A and B are shown apart, each in its own frame.
Chain A
Amino acid sequence: MQIFHRSTNTVARASIFGALFFVGAALWVAAMVNRSPYVTKQGTVEPQPVPFSHQHHVSGLGIDCRYCHTSVETSTFAGIPPTSTCMNCHAQIWTNAELLEPVRASFRNGTPIRWTRVHNLPDYVHFNHSIHISKGVGCSSCHGRVDKMQLMYQFSPLSMEWCLTCHRNPEKYVRPKSEIFNMAWAPADQATLGPQLVKEYHVRSVTNCSACHY
C-alpha cells in the first residue's frame, strides 16, 4: 500500500538538495554580513564633540599629517593631538566660532576633549604604526583619502582578511618612503616599483600569528 504519492520522491530529493543549498546560502549570507560595512563600520561617521574636517585642514590648508599625529613615526599609536595643538592656530583664528567652543573650553578648564574612536582594533591585535610607515606603507593605503573626508570615517574594513591582503603581497601596496604622507600618490607602475621597494626596504611578508596576536 502506498501512503505517499510517487511525486513525493521528487519533493524529498529536491528538499535534500534544497537544504544543502539553503545551509550553504545561509553561511554565505553570514560571511557576507560579517564583511559588510554594517559589521565592519566602514564609512560610518561617528558623532564627535567637534566636527573636525580633515578635508579643510589637509587639502585646504596643507597641514601635514604629522603636525597633529606626532608619534606616527615613532610609536605604535599615531597620536591624537592635545588641545594645545588646536590652540596653536585657534588662539588666533576663528576665536569666536561656536563650533570651536569645546576646544576652547578644554583649553580653559584643562579637561580633555572626548573624541569618539573611529578606528577600533580588538584588544588581542597589536598594531604598530611606526613600523608600517618605515616599511613604505602610506597613510592613504589604509586610511583612504583623508584629505577628502569632511568628517572622519573608517575607510578600510580592518578585518584580518584585509590585513593579510597586504601582509601576503606587500609588493602590491608599498610606496617610496618620500610619498608616505602624500594623500594623492598613485603608482605609475606598481608591478616594477613594488618588488624593487620590497627589496630596498627589506619588507617581509609576515603572516605568522604572533606577529600581531600575543
Chain B
Amino acid sequence: MSKQEHLDLASFRARLEHGDENRFWRSLEELSNDEAFDEFVKKEFPHESQTLGEGVDRRDFLKLMSASLALGGLTACTRPLQQILPYVRQPEDVIPGKPLFFATAMSLAGSSAGVLVESHLNRPTRIEGNPDHPSSMGATDAFMQASILSLYDPDRSQTVRYIGDPATYGDFLGALSQVLVQLRSKGGAGLRILTESINSPTLGNQFQTLLSQYPKAVWHQYEAAGRENVLEGTRLAFGAYVNPVYQFDKADVVVSLDGDFLTQGSGHLRYARDFMGRRKVRLDKQEMNRLYVVESMLTGTGSVADHRLPMRSADVESFARALAAQLGVSGGAPPSSSQADFVAAVARDLQAHRGKSIVVAGEHQPPVVHAIAFAINGALGNAGSTVYYTDPIEESPIPQTESMRQLAHDMETGAVEALIIIGGNPVFAAPADLNFAHGLERVPFRAHLSHYYDETSALCQWHVPRTHYLEEWSDARAHDGTVSIVQPLIAPLYGGRSAHELLGVMTGEANEAYEVLRGYWRSKLQSLDFEKSWRKALNDGVVAGSTLPVKAMAAGGTLPPPTQNPGGLELVFKSDPTIFDGRFANNAWLEELPHPMTKLTWDNAALVSPRTAAKLEMGTENYNGVSPLAEISYKGRTLQIPIWVVPGHADDSVTLHFGRGRTRAGNVGTAKGFNVYAIRTSDAPSLGFGAAFGNLKETRQLACTQLHQSIDVKTLRGERDIIRVGTIEQFRRDPSVVPETEENKVRSKETFYPPFKYEGYAWGMSIDTNLCTGCGGCVIACQSENNIPVVGKDQVIIGRAMHWLRIDHYYRGRPENPESYHIPILCMHCENAPCEPVCPVEATSHSPEGINEMTYNRCVGTKYCANNCPYKVRRFNWYSYSEYDIPGRQAIIKGESFKAMRNPNVTVRSRGVMEKCSYCVQRVNAARQEAEKGDRRIRDGEVVTACQSACPGEAIVFGDINDKTSRVAARKAQPANYGLLTELNTQPRTTYLPTLKNPNPEIKAG
C-alpha cells in the first residue's frame, strides 16, 4: 500500500461525514482500513519475535550461557559480606531510614519555581514542589522532576580544562587574574561577559559591582528560548521593561494568542493551577471558564481550548489587531472575512467579561503581539484585576538578540579581548547568521563555566565545571518576583564552581558563594534578627516580603504599525517541549518522555498539517514512525529533518523544535535528532519565511509512542469509544454527561472467585481529564519515584518504553482542526483484575486494601498478565535496563553515581520481571505505619502519589474510597464518574471524570 493511500484525507473526511464525526481517533491511518495498521495496533510488542537472538551467534550464545552458569553457580554459594558505616558524629536531624526535605528553587530561562528536595542520608533522590512557593504551589513540571537525573549524570564535566586537557582551578584563576589586571588598567575595555537571563538578585548585585570596577566591560545575555519577546513587548507598550503577572483564578474568559501558558514559560505551574481551578466542574459548581486559542502548532493549552482556531503564527498579529479593533483599541485593523464571525464572537465574550478576562500572547510571538495583548487587557479593564505588572524579575533585562549581535560583531572586529561565558551554550544555540563559533575563536582569552564540556567549551581555552543547582548556594526570583534561597543538597559531585564564586573571584570580594549570598541578604533583610529571618527563608523556601510590588501601568499611545506578513509557508521556531533549548539533551528521562502532542521520543521533526504535507508531497505514515526526510533550504542554509504530520496544525506553517542534534551533549544526547539552530537566524528568531522544501527520497525511523499500548477498541467493544467527553451544557442537563448504555454496562458481576471485603482502607484514584494538559510532569514524577528505567530509542520503537504512566492522546473530528483529548493511563487496580488469576506463580495478587500488587522477586516473566490486561499498563523488563550493559545493548542510565539517586524504598527491577504502577504502595505503607504508630487512621490527603503531587492542574486525586468524606470519594460520587472498559467487569479502582468543553453558543462548531 503506498504512502499516499495512508494519508487519503478525502476518504478520511468521507468517513467522518458518514456518521463518524463523533468517533475518537488516534492516528490519521486509523480510519483508513489498512490491514497493516490494524495488525500494528493489535500487537502489544510488535517486533517481539524479530529481536530474539539478534546480534548473538551460536558460539557467543554458548559462551555466555556457560559463563553465566559458572558465575551464577559460584555466586550462589557465598553471600557477599556487607558493611555498615555509621557516622563518626551523627548530625542532629539525620535519622537513617527517614528522609529529610529541604526547600530550594530551580531556575529556568530567567524564572524559578520552588521545590522540596527529598534527601536520604544527604543524598538528594527526588524533587517535589514547594506548596508554599507562589510559582509551584506544590506542583512540578518534567524539567524540575528530571533535574535530579542531571545532578548525578556522570557525563557532566568533572574537571577544569585548558585547551581540552585537564587543569586545576588554580591554573585557571592564575590565567584569569593576569588577564583581568591588564583589562583593569584599560577600565575593562575588551572584557565581555555572556550569561543566560539572570534572575538571581545576588548575582545581579555582583555584576553591578563588577561593572563598577570595569566600567567599560559589557555584560551580554542570551537565552535561546527566553522571554525577550515578552519584555520587548512591555517596552513597546509601556516604554519600560515590566513583568506581567496573570491571575487566571479570576478570569472567566481567556484568549491565548499562540501561547502555551499552561505548560511553558514563567509561572506556568501556578497559571495551570489557577486556570484549572476554574474548570473543576462538580454538582455544586456547574460553571467553568472559557478558553479561546489561536495557534499554529497544537499545544497543551490548545488541546484544552474550548475554541481552537489553527492559524499560521504570522497571522496571529492580524488576528490580535482585529480583536483590538473590535474592543476599541486604536491601531487595530479589521479582521479578514473568514475570521470576522469568530473575532466578533470572541470580542463580545471579552466585552461581557470586562475585568474578568485575560488575553495572553505566546513567548515566541513578536513583541508587537504582546503589546497588542497588553493594550487589549488595558482596554478591557483587566489590568489591575486579572493582570498586574511588576518590575522585571530578571536582574538586567536587555534586548538579547541585539546584544548577541553586538557581541558577535565585536568578536569579529577583534574588540573583544576576554570573553567569560557563564552558563549557556552559545556555539550551539546562538543564531546561525552570527557565526558565533567563528568570532569566538578570534577572542584571545575565552572561558566557559558550564555543566558539560559542550560545543562551546570545546572552542574555549578554559572550561570550568559548573555546579548543579542542587549543589550551590544562590537565590532566584519566581514569576511574581518572590525570591527563594537556593541551598545545596550535596557537596559538588564533580568539583563544580558556581557563578557566584567566579564573580566573587573577578570582583575580588568574597569567593565563597555562601558568604556572598548572606552578605547580600544581610543588607536587604531589614530585620532585627538576621539569623532568624535567614533560617526562616531557608526553611520556607521563600524570602518573606520579597514579592515584587504591583506597578500601575497604563498602555500609552497607539499600537505600532502592522509588521509585514509575506504570506506563504512559514517556519516557526520553538523550544523543544521535553529537552527545552537543548540543555537537557543528555537527560535520558526527558529524551524518552514523549512529546506531549506528537508522542515522538528521542527525536524532533518538522511538524506540519496533513494538507501541508500533501502540498509538499511528503505524506507520512505516522503510526510506525517511518518518516520522509526533507531538506529545508532557508536563507542560504540547509537543514535535513524528517516531516511529521500533526492533525490540527495550521496549514502553510512548519513548526521546528530547536534543541536537538547536539554534537557534544554526552553519551545520551549526542547526535540525537536534528539541529534546527543551524537555520535559525537573528533577524527571524521565531518566525521565518522563504523556506524551500526538497524531498530527499529517504526515510528516517522515528520512535513514536502514539499508538503503543493502544487499548484495542475495535476488538474489544465494536464501535464504541472508551473515553468520555461532553460540554458544560450537557453537564447541566444531565450531570452524568455520557449516560451508561447497554453496551458498557456490566452484564453480570459474578466471578469465579469469592469477592474481596475491603474493611479497612480501599485505595482508589480519580483522574479528572478536564484538568489535564498532557504536559508529562506526572510521567517523569512516576519515573523518578519508582526507579523506572530508560530503554533507548531502539526499544521505544518496538513498544518497550517502561513508563508506568502514559498519557494517551485522542483526537476527534476533522483532521484540519480536531478536538484533542489527553487521558493519563496507569494501572487501574481492578477489583476483579484479569491479570491476577493468570499468573502461574502468584506474583501479581490482590491486597486487602484493593491494590493490585506486583511482587518482583516472584515473577518468572511469563507475561501472561500483560497479555490479559485490557488496559495494557504492564511493562516487561526485556533487558536489565537499569543496571549494566549486555552484548549488543548498552544501558542508557548506568554508572555508580546513579545508585545514589534511586529511591531506596522501591526495588530496582532486573531483567525478566514484569512491573507496573503500584499506586505508590511505598508511600501508602509509610503513611500506614506512621498512622498505626499513632494509633489512628490515615488522614485524607496523607498519601499523595508521585503523579498526583506533580500535577499542576490537580487532575489526579488519590485516597481511601471507604472514607466517604475523602476527596477521592467525593469525586467518585459525581454522576459523571466513569471507568474504562467497565463492561468487562474489571471494576477498576482508577476512574475518570469526563473532559468538558464550554463552547461559545455564538460560534458554530469547528
Chain A positions within 8 Å of B, measured between CB atoms, are 41, 46, 71, 74-77, 79-84, 106-107, 110-117, 120, 122-124, 126, 128, 130-131, 134-135, 202, 208-211, 213-214
Contact = CB atoms under 8 A, between A and B. Distances in A.
B874 to A, nearest CB: 16
B770 to A, nearest CB: 31
B723 to A, nearest CB: 29
Given A115-B86, A117-B84, A134-B932, A71 B98 contact: yes
A110 B87 CA distance: 9
A210 B856 contact: no
B98 A213 contact: no
B57 interface: no
Contacts of B905: 126, 214
A117 B83 contact: yes
A210 B853 contact: yes
Contacts of A110: 88
A208 B86 contact: no
B82 A135 contact: no
B4 interface: no
Contacts of B81: 46, 116-117
Q: 3 tightest A-B contacts by CB? A: A77-B97, A75-B97, A210-B853
B918 interface: yes
Interface string B839-869: 0000001111001010111100000000000
B851 A210 contact: yes
Nearest to B80: A120
A41 B77 CA distance: 12
B754 interface: no
A120 B856 CA distance: 19
A131 to B, nearest CB: 4
A74 B98 contact: yes
Nearest to B847: A208
Interface string B855-891: 1111000000000000000000000000000000000
A124 B856 contact: yes
A115 B88 contact: no
Interface of B: 79, 81-90, 95-98, 845-848, 851, 853, 855-858, 905-908, 918, 921-922, 925, 929, 932-933, 935
Contact of A113 (B86, B853, B906): B86
Contact of A214 (B79, B83, B921, B933): B921
A26 to B, nearest CB: 17
Contacts of B83: 114-117
B76 to A, nearest CB: 10
Nearest to A110: B88
B918 A210 contact: yes
A46 B79 CA distance: 12
Contacts of A74: 95, 98
A208 B848 contact: yes
A143 B921 CA distance: 28
Contacts of B845: 208-209
Contacts of B88: 82-84, 106-107, 110-112
B840 to A, nearest CB: 15
Query: Taking each of A124, A135, A214, which has the highest tally of chain B beta carbons within 10 Å of its own beta carbon?
Result: A214
Contact of B907 (A107, A202, A214): A214
Contact of A75 (B98, B846, B918): B98
Contacts of A82: 86-90
A24 to B, nearest CB: 22
Nearest to B849: A208
B85 A214 contact: no
A131 B97 contact: no
Nearest to B96: A77
Nearest to B932: A131
A80 B87 CA distance: 8
Given A114-B83, A115-B83, A213 B847 contact: no
17 contacts: A74-B95, A76-B97, A77-B97, A82-B90, A114-B85, A116-B81, A116-B84, A120-B82, A123-B908, A130-B933, A134-B932, A208-B847, A210-B853, A210-B855, A211-B925, A213-B855, A213-B857
B925 A115 contact: no
Contacts of B853: 208-210, 213-214
B932 A135 contact: yes
Contacts of B87: 82-84, 112
A120 B918 contact: no
B857 A122 contact: yes
B851 A202 contact: no
A80 B88 CA distance: 11
A113 B921 CA distance: 35
Nearest to B90: A82
Contacts of A41: 79
A55 to B, nearest CB: 20
A111 B83 CA distance: 14
A108 to B, nearest CB: 9
A82 to B, nearest CB: 4
Contacts of A202: 932, 935
A136 B447 CA distance: 64
A81 B87 CA distance: 8
Contacts of B921: 210, 214
Contacts of B907: 123-124, 213-214
Contacts of A208: 845-848, 853
Nearest to A213: B855
A210 B847 contact: yes
Contacts of B855: 209-210, 213
A76 B845 CA distance: 25
B779 to A, nearest CB: 20
Nearest to A74: B95
Contacts of A76: 97-98
A81 B907 CA distance: 27
Given A208-B845, A210-B851, A113 B857 contact: no
Contact of B84 (A80, A122, A211): A80
Nearest to A77: B97
A125 to B, nearest CB: 8
Contacts of A209: 845, 847, 853, 855, 858
Contacts of A122: 857
A204 to B, nearest CB: 8
A28 to B, nearest CB: 20
Query: Taking each of B81, B86, B87, B905, which has the highest tally of chain A beta carbons within 10 Å of its own beta carbon?
Result: B86
Query: Taking each of A76, A126, A210, which has the highest tally of chain B beta carbons within 10 Å of its own beta carbon?
Result: A210
A107 B857 CA distance: 41
B920 to A, nearest CB: 9
A82 B846 CA distance: 41
B693 to A, nearest CB: 52
Contacts of A113: 85-86
B932 A84 contact: no
A213 B858 CA distance: 10
Nearest to B82: A117
Contacts of B89: 82-84
Nearest to A79: B96
Contacts of A79: 86, 95-97
A111 B905 CA distance: 27
Contacts of A46: 81
A84 B98 CA distance: 21
A210 B923 CA distance: 12
Contacts of B90: 82, 84
Contact of B97 (A71, A114, A117): A71
A130 B929 CA distance: 8
B761 to A, nearest CB: 12
B777 to A, nearest CB: 23
Nearest to B86: A80
Nearest to A111: B88
Contacts of A211: 847, 925
A115 B932 contact: no
Contacts of A80: 84, 86
A201 B929 CA distance: 13
Contacts of A210: 847, 851, 853, 855, 918, 921, 925
A126 B925 contact: yes
B82 A116 contact: yes
